[in-house]
Amino acid sequence: MTDTTKALADFTTALAAATTEEAAFDALCALIKATVGAKLFTVMTSDTDAMVARRAYTDDAENYPTSGEKPIELNRWFDQVLIRQEAFVSNTLADIDTVFPDAELIGKLGCGSVVNLPLIIGGKVIATMNILHEEGYYTPERVTRIHDMLRLPATAACAVAMVLRA
């Protein structure tokens, strides 16, 4: 298992110094890549009252820009992540294709597994942290590490980003 002490200390320092929404999420992205790994990292805000999502952060602006809003689709991902507030984990591109219309692009980027972790404030999912890697990458051990070690830093980064955006 990776020693996470330095990665968490670097994250804490970077988050405390963040003066923009992007800087807060840059700190989180670096933490994710140092602790569990990701080929693609995004954060999507979700407004289930208006049924829209907005990409608040991306580490691949060319393929996944942070512009505009998109409608939230009612599917099994919606029920699992936004209603039951559970992480969505998929380790095959074929499964990803059943819930995400951009599965072809995901595959072209060398990704075939995903973890979408709901970030919850005040009992409501306010965003999802989305990490993608090669097919089969998010093993049960990595998923446990995401849940146990990274949920709080991700929620903190999201809260700081919300304050800085306002």
- 2 pLDDT band, cuts 50/70/90, is low
User: In the structure, what pLDDT confidence band is assigned to residue 162 with cuts at 50, 70 and 90?
Assistant: very high
What is the predicted pLDDT for the residue at 1? Answer: 41
Mean pLDDT across 91-119 = 96
First-residue to last-residue Cα distance in the chain: 38
Cα–Cα dist 31/106, whole Å: 22
Residue 60 predicted with pLDDT over 80: yes
11 or 1, which is more confident?
Answer: 11
pLDDT above 60 for 65: yes
- Residue 156 has phi, psi (to 5 degrees) of -65, -45
User: Quick one: what percent of the chain has pLDDT higher than 70?
Assistant: 99
Structure tokens at 10: 């670097």
Q: What is the pLDDT of residue 73?
A: 87
- Nearest CA among 117, 110, 119, 115 for reference residue 131: 115
Q: Which pLDDT tens digit goes with each residue over 3-53?
A: 789 999 999 999 999 999 999 999 999 999 999 999 999 999 998 889 999
